[in-house]
Structure 1
Amino acid sequence: MKTILPFFPLNLVAFPGQELNLHVFEPRYKELVRDCVANESNFAIPSYVKNKIEYGTEMKLVNIAKEYSDGRFDIETKAINVLHVLNMQNPYKEKLYAAGDVEILTNVDNGDIILKEALFESLTELYKLVEIQKVPLNTDFRVFDIAHQIGLSKDAEYDLLQLREERQRQRFLLDHLKVILPQLRDIQKSKELIKMNGHFRHYDPLEF
């Protein structure tokens, strides 16, 4: 589905379902907020990653938490859909902000139960290794729900955003965890060895 949305480009990746609080202070984005309120419309956060603007997220303005006397805003937003930026006009017509045509991408919710169970086990180990006391996870999760919580680089998050199928996203995270979990296990072993330094230890003598 194609539509025109105002652009609020940022150097971040917002995943569908994510709540994002923004402080709006530039004149062009103050105008964008006012227009979204007046038109009851959404806006786009094109992700400026890898030195380009190509994919991003459709955002819903949920609430204006605070409006300052100088026109600044603190706003609460929620990510709705992944989008592909088709073109950008900057500024857009008589506006201060940029806007353009975007294609709202269809999400295929075809998660695999076996992959999900493997992910759950790996994530549980990850949080234990990094000593997170309260595991931010339940069995009814989607990849986008936890994608910010597993140490992905911004470039990797951007690649993940573009995957349209849940099964692809599950495999993507599993591949990532297969790389970092062994590294974290090694770090944990090193920490344990350091803690043992200076303590009395039992060694079995070698037989010659």
Structure 2
Amino acid sequence: MTNFIPIFPLAIVVYPGEALNLHIFEPRYKQLIQYCIDNKKPFGIPSVINNHVNEMGTLLEITEVSKVYDNGEMDIKTKGIKVFRILEVVKELPDKLYSGAIVSYPENIRNGSKKIMQKLIDSTRQLHETLKVSKDFKEADADLTSYAIAHHVGLSLQQEYELLGLMEEIQRQEYLKRHLKKVLPVMNQMETLKDRIQLNGHFKNLEGFDI
């Protein structure tokens, strides 16, 4: 299935199911959002990395217009629907300031492992505890997917985009598992190093080594 959608390229990765708040201020995107509101249409956010618009992105629906300013700027709430792949960018549209794209929607296979997912959730919480940050996933563990935790494990923008391109949940889970397996030991070493630095200069209560 192919479709034409208006596009709003941004230097972010949005996942299906993700809630995203946007402040719309550029004239072309004020026009785009107004078109989507008037016609009850979704729009696409393809990911921009290193000043390049990539082929993968996420289709979003507008769930709320929170505020409209006197100058036409808007605060809106959106939600990711599904992943798309750009087949062709249409840079100029009649009477439009924004661009569009002809896209296809790859099949997204929900074949994840509950056991692996729980381990990912536990490892993510361990990472947050080490970093002393607090995150609320706003869903029960049983309802969480790889998309729900992907922004919370310290992936780079490129890595988040690579995850977006994986069309099977088990592949996304394995990707996150490999990442956390690398990151957690490093974080634990940094915490140990911090403790050592803090101890330096203090009286130490240490047991002698019995030769």
Q: Give the structure-1-normalised TM-score.
A: 0.93
Question: Is the alpha carbon distance of 1:109 and 1:28 closer, same or farther for their aligned partners in structure 2, counting shifts above 3 Å?
Answer: same
Number of residue pairs the alignment of both structures matches: 207
Task: Give yes or no for contact 2:121–2:149 (8 Å, CA) kept in 1.
Answer: no
Task: Give yes or no for contact 1:124–1:135 (8 Å, CA) kept in 2.
Answer: no
Q: For residue 204 of structure 1, what is the amino acid of its counterpart? A: G
Name the residue aligned to 2:171: 168
Name the residue aligned to 1:187: 190
Name the residue aligned to 1:98: 99
Deviations 1:107-166 (A, max 9, x none): 111111232232133223212211234554742210101111111000000000011111
Write out aligned runs for 1:108-123 (5 A). Answer: 108-123=109-124
Name the residue aligned to 1:159: 162
Task: Give yes or no for contact 1:127–1:135 (8 Å, CA) kept in 2.
Answer: no
Instruction: Give the counterpart of 2:141 among 139, 142, 166.
Output: 139
Question: Is the alpha carbon distance of 1:134 and 1:35 closer, same or farther for their aligned partners in structure 2, counting shifts above 3 Å?
Answer: closer
Q: Distance in 1 between matches of 2:109 and 2:150?
A: 17
Deviation larger for 134-143 or 25-34: 134-143
Query: Secondary structure of 1:164's match?
Result: coil
Q: Distance in 1 between matches of 2:209 and 2:105?
A: 68
Deviation larger for 150-159 or 83-92: 83-92
Instruction: Give the counterpart of 1:200 among 197, 200, 204.
Output: 204
Q: Distance in 2 between matches of 1:108 and 1:28?
A: 35
Deviation larger for 154-163 or 87-96: 87-96
Q: Provide runs of 4+ in structure 1 moved above 4 Å.
A: none
Deviations 1:45-86 (A, max 9, x none): 111125232110101011111111221111111111111011
Q: Distance in 2 between matches of 1:25 and 1:118?
A: 41
Q: Distance in 2 between matches of 1:46 and 1:183?
A: 32
Question: Is the alpha carbon distance of 1:203 and 1:135 closer, same or farther for their aligned partners in structure 2, counting shifts above 3 Å?
Answer: farther
**RMSD of Structure 2 on Structure 1 (CA):** 1.6
Question: Is the alpha carbon distance of 1:47 and 1:134 closer, same or farther for their aligned partners in structure 2, counting shifts above 3 Å?
Answer: closer
Q: For residue 100 of structure 1, what is the amino acid of its counterpart? A: A
Percent identity, aligned pairs only, is 36
* Unpaired segments ≥5 residues, structure 2: none
Q: Give the structure-2-normalised TM-score.
A: 0.91
Query: Secondary structure of 1:204's match?
Result: coil
Task: Give yes or no for contact 2:46–2:53 (8 Å, CA) kept in 1.
Answer: no
* Unpaired segments ≥5 residues, structure 1: none
Task: Give yes or no for contact 2:9–2:53 (8 Å, CA) kept in 1.
Answer: no
